[in-house]
Amino acid sequence: MRTSLAGIARIEQREGCVLHAYRDSAGVWTIGVGHSSLAGTPPLIHMGMTITHAQATAILKSDLGPREDFMNRLLTRPATQNQFDAMMSLMFNIGDSGFEGSDVLKLFNVGDLKGAASAFAHWSHPAALASRRRDEARQFLS
Q: Dihedrals φ, ψ of 19, to 5°?
A: -90, 5
Catalytic residue selected from 15, 96, 100, 103: 15
12 in active site: no
**Crossing angle for the helix pair 53-74 and 5-15, to the nearest 10 degrees:** 110
Q: At 25, is the pLDDT very low, low, confident or very high (cuts 50, 70, 90)? A: confident
| Confidence check: pLDDT of 44 > 90 | no
100 in active site: no
Give Cα separations from 17 to 14, 21, 53 (angstroms).
9, 11, 8
Domains in the chain: ranges and CATH: 5-141 (1.10.530.40)
Give Cα separations from 61 to 37, 66, 92, 104, 108 (angstroms).
15, 10, 12, 23, 24
pLDDT digits (tens, 9 = 90+) for 9-20: 999 999 999 999
pLDDT digits (tens, 9 = 90+) for 59-102: 999 999 999 999 999 999 999 999 999 999 999 999 999 999 99
- Other Cβ atoms less than 10 A from the Cβ of 140: the count is 26
Instruction: Give the amino acid at 57.
Output: T
* Mean pLDDT, the chain, integer: 94
Task: Give the closest residue to 46 by CA, choosing from 68, 21, 66.
Answer: 21
